[in-house]
Amino acid sequence: MKNPFENLDKVMEHRVRLQIISVLVANDSYDFNALKDLLDVTDGNLATHLKALEREKYISISKSFIDRKPNTRYKVTERGRTAFKKHLDAMEELIKQQRK
């Protein structure tokens, strides 16, 4: 039997990153401030995690101006969606195995 631990996604093993991806999978797009309010994290903390996800190309970023204020929106990429699904499956598998 193959080891489901191998299917866990290293980048998503952090809960804040996992939460970011789940919000983006459930919504078309989300902006920085809305994410910050929702996850209840600091600016710096959120920015670090977003950068980590961006580096893996799990999310895409679009910057624009709304009323002259910068607005940064995030979207999940197809790659990110697939990785999220795989990570969920792996967690499910692990929980199942340990119950036995």
Partner 1 sequence: MDKNSDYQKDIESIRHMMEKSVKFLSLSGLSGILAGVYALIGAVVAYSIVYFPQTPFDYRNQSVKEITIIIKLLSIALTVLIISILTGYLLAAKKAHKLGVKIWTTTSKRLLVNLLVPLITGGIFILFLLFYGHYGVAAPACLIFYGLSLIQASPNLYDEFRYLGYTEIILGLISAALPGYGLIFWAVGFGVLHIIYGAMMFKKYDR
Which residues would be at the binding site for partner 1 (CB under 8 A)?
15, 18-19, 22-23, 25-27, 30-31, 34, 37-39, 88, 91-92, 94-95, 98-99
In the bound complex, what is the minimum distance in angstroms from residue 67's beta carbon to partner 1?
15
Distance in angstroms (rounded) separating the CA atoms of residues 66 and 91: 39
Cα 61 to chain centroid distance, Å, stands at: 13
Q: Which is nearer to partner 1, 47 or 88 (CB)?
A: 88
In the bound complex, what is the minimum distance in angstroms from residue 41's beta carbon to partner 1?
12
Distance in angstroms (rounded) separating the CA atoms of residues 58 and 56: 5
Beta strand segments in 1-100, E: 30-31, 59-66, 69-76
In the bound complex, what is the minimum distance in angstroms from residue 71's beta carbon to partner 1?
11
